[in-house]
Structure 1
Amino acid sequence: MNDTEGKSLFEATYNPDVLLCLANLSNDEVITPPDVANNMLDMLPQELFEDPNITFLDPCCKSGVFLREIAKRLIKGLEDKIPDLQERIDHIMHKQLYGIAITELTSLLSRRSLYCSKYPNSKYSISRFDDAEGNIRFKRINHTWKDGKCIYCGASQEQYDRSLELETHAYELIHILKPEEVFNMKFDVIIGNPPYQLSDGGQGASAKPLYNFFVEQAIKLKPRYLTMIIPARWYAGGKGLDDFRKSMLNNNKIKELVDIPNSADCFPGVNIAGGVCYFLWENNYNGECLVKNLKEGQETSKVMRKLNEYSYFVRNNTAISIIDKCKTPQTMDKNVFSRNSFDIPTTADIHDIAQKDDLPVLSSKGKKYINKNTINDRNNILSKYKVVITYAMSGGNKPSSNGDYQVISSLQILPPQQVCTETYLILNVFDYEEEAQNFCSYMQTKFARFCLLQALTSIHITKDKFCFVPQQTYTEKWTDKKLFKKYNLTNDEIHYIESTIKEMSWEDIE
């Protein structure tokens, strides 16, 4: 094969169309589109692709897109050092590119993407190996169960203790104590898009995040560079992510972070609550992070920042200046009540018609009735005017078709002697109805809902998410005009809030 013929074969067999189609699949093992993979590779020093000694690892191969795109860059970058095309391809495939597939199926797909054959020891492989795996391995791993859960990833034994013909989803990298023993070699670059979560056997669709384990295990391998694309829910911590959030926010080795609030901008047709991000971690770096905001594939801003400036990561660079201007110790998280303030679950015995000793109760089914002896007025607020919203974020943390957010829904005032189920969150209580109405006017403002949005990375609104919302006095009604003036916001900041948050009237949310 001459060089020209080799290039034609390489270009013909490395066709991205199949991967672009796969990128539209929606599950917790989202396939990475080629353009996203290349955006991540662009963060790396490009001279890496001119060095024949640099090694790359994708520890969570699905389509093989990362290894394939790296191969294309190396084939071009090493042209002067290894002029013969076949020799160059053989060197790259055997000495520089390695992968760990997450399932047997993805191992075949990844080998097909990289070697142009799912069996690299076949005559169709562009670089021949002695075995059917090449440098993309898949090893079936079993979970290690204790008390019904895996000690490594927290998966539910009831769901994932499976027969041999089914995938266990016990991913190799995160089910071993010494990840360096997988290949028994050191890697310069680790890159990937790890599985996001697995069911943990809790109520409903309860699931435990997994991507944090992949990041932590990759760091243990001590590469020169690490880049991964993961859900952005870690910004605010939460289930299984609090320690991970702290370690990431305090990690001065994260050199660049690209934030994408709408996951569909990255994975077409896929909704990942809170959006996604990808980052560049550099072992020899120690400093501030270049935070980039992306919307509809376009960069909207970039700023050098400290990631740990706040306990929650404020994802938008423009929002930082607004949060700084309204910083105060008197924030709403001090007043918002914990969820289920009256200890009334959604499954409680509620009635359509009032019976003896019943109180009105606001539930997901509307206003019903419940026996007053079954409630727990632990905060002594039954006799107050209570302002409530639904626990779930309006729109499920997705922007509307216009790109703006409503944030809250079902803003209502419950009069004295009326309660609510755990579907609702009590924001504040008052002795007088007029104060409650004035508080509602504040929560209707775009300003208040914008401040709340900055701590939300999932559909659930909890009291701690109000940490950026400043308290006001509620002897008067509030408008955005008053608030913009009070906090001395610039025209650009005002425009950003108004374009981010949807207009709401009382009829929209009551």
Structure 2
Amino acid sequence: MADNLFNTVYNPDVLSCLANLSNDEVFTPPDVVNKMLDMLPQELFRNPDTTFLDPACKTGVFLREIAKRLIKGLEPQIPDLQERIDHIFHYQLYAIAITELTSLLSRRGVYCSKYPNSEFSVTQFDDAEGNIRYRNIKHSWVNGKCKYCGISKSTVLGGGERGSTLESHAYEWIHTLKPEEIFKMKFDVIISNPPYQLNDGGNGVSAKPIFQHFVERAMKLNPRYLSMIIPARWYAGGKGLDDFRETMLNDNRVRKLFDYESSKDCFDGVNIAGGICYFLWERDNPGLCNIVNINRDTSVELERALNEFPILIRSNMAISIVHKVLSICKDVHSDHAYPRNPFGFATNYRGRTEKQAGDIEIITSVGTHYVPRSEVTKNTDIIDSYKILIGRLVPSNGELDVNPKDGYKVITDTRIIGPGQINTETYLDIGVFPTEKEAINFERFLHQKLPRFLLRQAISSLNVTRECFRFVPHEDYTQEWTDKKLYEKYRLTDEEIAFVENTIRPMDLSGGDTDAD
């Protein structure tokens, strides 16, 4: 009976369909799970004492694919199939479901029955939970925020106590100081695809990353191996991720990193800003990290140190170019750009529609308005300078749907504003100059391919920040720059030039593309 159920009910096509769903709790396709399992030493699946944990179980696909490998690998040691299945499911595979619904789905996918104490289960447990547990955990509120995940109380409660049937997203794995006490045991392998983010109350457009908490809690258990698939936005840090980035970059136990610049190359049909990655952390085998860039059907592999730069340059092909630029240039542009909201006016600020005495122009998201000069309290020394503006977001929703053959634009259209003009937080003041000539030359510099290529190496989400210009050289803008002059100055090879040219889309001086989209 066990043989028949295992071979007929375990159907990867069902989970492949589920994997096409798009939300912050992305279902993992079986083929991706197996690529992650391929990173592990395969002798683990021939050892009856190896233990596995998925702390964010959604469909049970990780446990199911591990079970298939164990069933094959343990056959010489445990010839009887039913005995082998009982041993694997009772003593080697464990999971924590993220919701009650996914706990039922996971048990159905792993035990072939949502209740493993039923007659239909391929292995019999004494309870209806088996080794796939779910607990309805509550958030721990401190000053209006959960002390574990940081979500705001108002976001969860919505003005009133939520009913018990509504999901609170208080995941057990990250809502305890002692995750090791959940199963009261050590694990050899922790592997998962955790939830990525939670809405943090920003009017529906703001979200707080939480995937890093799952990784950190897993590290706390100190397994022999840890593998998770997570958004690649941690490469450059940012919102809640700076400490996690530092931890990852400086941990030489991260030995393998598979990087997908387009998440759709990993999860068919799912757009995740900044791409996706999965990694292998090996407790007892520190060293350099083998990074594999995957783009469509091509891959580029290079072994290197993750902490060579303050952020992770994802492209192996770009490393040599960045090295050359930084070794020759005397200054980088991140030291000359301004942080967001340089004049103290939020994106929703509108100002006056008619100019009055003492007013200056303010560029807003809905056009040019007016504000009293006296109300500007930040960076008043640059009000009468020439300023180059770009949008704070990567164009076209992070260029997620761009065909690499067409090239990337990287920045929105540029704009020069002059003396007596300022802007709201909608725009970044990426260059400030005393003369119009320098401003024009800098704007033309930004339209060249190499500066935008270098900028792109430091972008790992939808946002462009001052720090993203850390690899862009700061030049003498009393002269005009072209890519030809820049390639010569930084001694790029023909191969490196071709890589830049093929990666970045031409951009004309009006701010548009020279080629149609």
Structure 1: stretches of 5+ with no match in the other structure: none
Identity of aligned residues (%): 55
Offset of residue 353 of structure 1:
4.1
Match of 1:136 among 100, 121, 132: 132
Q: Partner amino acid for 2:270?
A: V
Answer yes or no: is 1:431 the counterpart of 2:434. yes
Deviation track 1:328-351 (CA, whole Å, cap 9, x = no partner) reads 451001100121222222222434
Q: Residue in 2 aligned with 1:325?
A: 324
Task: Number of aligned residue pairs: give it.
Answer: 505
Larger CA deviation: 485-494 vs 197-206: 197-206
Q: Residue in 2 aligned with 1:53?
A: 49
Output the CA distance in 2 between the equivalents of 1:377 and 1:207. 28
Answer yes or no: is 1:26 the counterpart of 2:15. no
Output the CA distance in 1 between the equivalents of 2:116 and 2:30. 22
Structure 2: stretches of 5+ with no match in the other structure: none
- Say if 1:262 and 1:398, in contact at 8 Å, map to a contact too: no
Output the CA distance in 2 between the equivalents of 1:167 and 1:367. 44
Superposed counterparts of 1:271-282, under 5 Å: 271-282=271-282
- Say if 2:350 and 2:364, in contact at 8 Å, map to a contact too: no
Answer yes or no: is 1:394 the counterpart of 2:390. no
Superposed counterparts of 1:148-227, under 5 Å: 148-161=144-157, 162-202=162-202, 204-227=204-227
Larger CA deviation: 342-351 vs 176-185: 342-351
Instruction: Find the residue that maps to 2:361 and give its secondary structure.
Output: strand
Please, what TM-score do these two structures have when normalized by structure 1? 0.96
The runs of 4+ residues in structure 1 deviating greater than 6 Å are none
Output the CA distance in 1 between the equivalents of 2:298 and 2:506. 26
Deviation track 1:1-25 (CA, whole Å, cap 9, x = no partner) reads 4xxxx54432221101221111111
Q: Residue in 1 aligned with 2:510?
A: 507
Q: Per the alignment, do residues 377 and 180 of structure 1 end up closer, same or farther by CA in structure 2, a change over 3 Å counting?
A: closer
Output the CA distance in 2 between the equivalents of 1:94 and 1:375. 67
Offset of residue 122 of structure 1:
1.0
Larger CA deviation: 474-483 vs 187-196: 474-483
Q: Partner amino acid for 2:442?
A: F
Deviation track 1:448-483 (CA, whole Å, cap 9, x = no partner) reads 011111111121211111111111111222111111
Q: Partner amino acid for 1:22?
A: L
- Say if 2:263 and 2:276, in contact at 8 Å, map to a contact too: yes
Offset of residue 375 of structure 1:
2.5
- Say if 1:292 and 1:299, in contact at 8 Å, map to a contact too: no
Q: Partner amino acid for 2:465?
A: T
Larger CA deviation: 365-374 vs 151-160: 365-374
Offset of residue 357 of structure 1:
3.3
Please, what TM-score do these two structures have when normalized by structure 2? 0.94
Instruction: Find the residue that maps to 1:308 and give its secondary structure.
Output: helix
Compute the RMSD of aligned alpha carbons: 1.6
Q: Residue in 1 aligned with 2:239?
A: 239
Answer yes or no: is 1:384 the counterpart of 2:385. yes
- Say if 1:258 and 1:278, in contact at 8 Å, map to a contact too: yes
Output the CA distance in 1 between the equivalents of 2:370 and 2:511. 25
Q: Residue in 2 aligned with 1:71?
A: 67
Match of 2:5 among 9, 12, 37: 9
Output the CA distance in 1 between the equivalents of 2:58 and 2:431. 48
Q: Partner amino acid for 1:368?
A: H
Q: Per the alignment, do residues 8 and 479 of structure 1 end up closer, same or farther by CA in structure 2, a change over 3 Å counting?
A: farther
Q: Residue in 1 aligned with 2:457?
A: 454
- Say if 2:313 and 2:319, in contact at 8 Å, map to a contact too: yes
Q: Partner amino acid for 2:411?
A: I
Deviation track 1:250-302 (CA, whole Å, cap 9, x = no partner) reads 00111101111111111122211111111000110111110110112x35211
Q: Partner amino acid for 2:441?
A: N
Answer yes or no: is 1:258 the counterpart of 2:258. yes
Instruction: Find the residue that maps to 1:318 and give its secondary structure.
Output: coil
Q: Residue in 1 aligned with 2:478?
A: 475
Answer yes or no: is 1:113 the counterpart of 2:113. no
- Say if 1:192 and 1:228, in contact at 8 Å, map to a contact too: yes
Instruction: Find the residue that maps to 2:226 and give its secondary structure.
Output: strand
Output the CA distance in 2 between the equivalents of 1:156 and 1:509. 41
Output the CA distance in 2 between the equivalents of 1:457 and 1:367. 31
- Say if 2:271 and 2:400, in contact at 8 Å, map to a contact too: no
- Say if 2:350 and 2:369, in contact at 8 Å, map to a contact too: no
Instruction: Find the residue that maps to 1:68 and give its secondary structure.
Output: helix
